């Protein structure tokens, strides 16, 4: 069992699971969601035994009927198989390992991914930048920016929604078709721009309903949000990219051996 992740559930296996009682979400569905998350992230691997109704009831402080309903819901959705005498077993197989993107070249990950992933351009528009984007691009509010929305997929399934905002007047011109075949950074380079650096911010967030629709995940499923501010060699931010990756399909890795970055400072 993958206790590296389960570990956060506390050392004590007898620790009681807490549910939001009196909440709008029925208890059995809360248990279902918890167990399903555990299964889908590999903490309960294919073939492993699920707790019995009685064990579930005890650990969640619910009736056996409620526990049964949670297990039934898992069975209906194809996560587990319930067999008389043999009990309940996980039959879900992780569809694919998450892609591990090296963060050292993360600004380039769109380019690298280009070889293994497909891009669908949702839209390319030019219009007034909102406050946040304007500030980051050094524009006055309402000044226009180019906005490109793409969905990147791997193996036929969405991997992430990539929303880019570019200054206008950079001499960069492209059609949605260009963006399908060529990474945005390559287009910038082709337009004569020198990239000076970038700042990335990485955070977790819950998907909102529209993002969830584009990514084919449930609303509130975890998403890895990577913001990249790309600067030219004069230090001006020319491109703001916000990428929202499916948590189950995308991870970042940082190897701190080769880069010389690992400089422990013990205070």
Distance separating alpha carbons of residues 82 and 72, to the nearest angstrom: 8
For its own copies, which is the closer residue by CB, 157 or 253? 253
Q: Quick one: which of 48, 52, 168, 200 contacts its own copies (CB under 8 A)? A: 200
List the structure tokens of 255: 């190897």
Q: Quick one: which of 82, 89, 120, 136 contacts its own copies (CB under 8 A)? A: 136
Q: Is 149 helix (H, G, I), strand (E, B) or coil?
A: strand
Q: Quick one: which of 55, 177, 218, 236 contacts its own copies (CB under 8 A)? A: 218
**Residues of this chain, 113-132, that bind its own copies according to CB under 8 A:** 114-115, 122-123, 125, 130-132
Distance separating alpha carbons of residues 118 and 162, to the nearest angstrom: 12
**Residues of this chain, 95-114, that bind its own copies according to CB under 8 A:** 98, 100, 103-108, 111-112, 114
Phi-psi region of 8 (alpha: psi -120 to 50; beta: other; left: phi over 0): alpha
Least separation in angstroms between residue 84's CB and its own copies is 26
- As beta bridge partners, residue 160 has 152, 245
Q: Are strands 144-154 and 87-90 parallel, antiparallel or unpaired?
A: unpaired
Distance separating alpha carbons of residues 37 and 66, to the nearest angstrom: 18
Position 63 contacts its own copies (CB under 8 A): no
For its own copies, which is the closer residue by CB, 85 or 253? 253
Q: Quick one: which of 55, 94, 177, 255 contacts its own copies (CB under 8 A)? A: 255
């Amino acid at each position: 069992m993958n206790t590296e992740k389960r570990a956060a559930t506390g050392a004590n296996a007898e620790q009681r699971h807490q549910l939001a009682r009196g909440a709008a979400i029925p208890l059995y569905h809360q248990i279902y969601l918890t167990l399903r998350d555990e299964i889908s992230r590999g903490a309960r691997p294919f073939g492993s035994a699920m707790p019995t109704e009685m064990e579930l009831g005890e650990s969640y402080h619910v009736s056996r009927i409620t526990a049964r309903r949670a297990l039934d819901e898992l069975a209906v959705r194809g996560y587990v198989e319930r067999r008389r005498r043999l009990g309940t077993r996980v039959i879900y197989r992780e569809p694919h390992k998450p892609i591990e993107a090296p963060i050292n070249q993360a600004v380039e990950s769109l380019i690298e991914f280009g070889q293994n992933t497909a891009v669908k351009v949702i839209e390319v528009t030019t219009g007034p930048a909102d406050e946040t984007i304007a500030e980051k691009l050094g524009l006055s509010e309402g000044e226009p920016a180019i906005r490109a929305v793409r969905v990147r997929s791997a193996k036929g399934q969405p991997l992430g929604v990539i929303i880019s905002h570019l200054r206008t007047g950079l001499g960069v011109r492209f059609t949605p078709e260009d963006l399908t075949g060529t990474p945005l950074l390559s287009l910038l380079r082709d337009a004569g721009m020198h990239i000076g650096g970038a700042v990335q911010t990485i955070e977790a967030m819950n998907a909102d309903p529209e993002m969830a629709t584009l990514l084919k995940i449930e609303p509130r499923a975890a998403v890895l949000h990577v913001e990249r501010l790309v600067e030219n060699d004069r230090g001006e931010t020319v491109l703001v990219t916000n990428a929202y990756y499916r948590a189950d399909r995308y991870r970042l890795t940082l190897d701190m051996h080769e880069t010389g970055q690992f400089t422990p400072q013990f205070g």
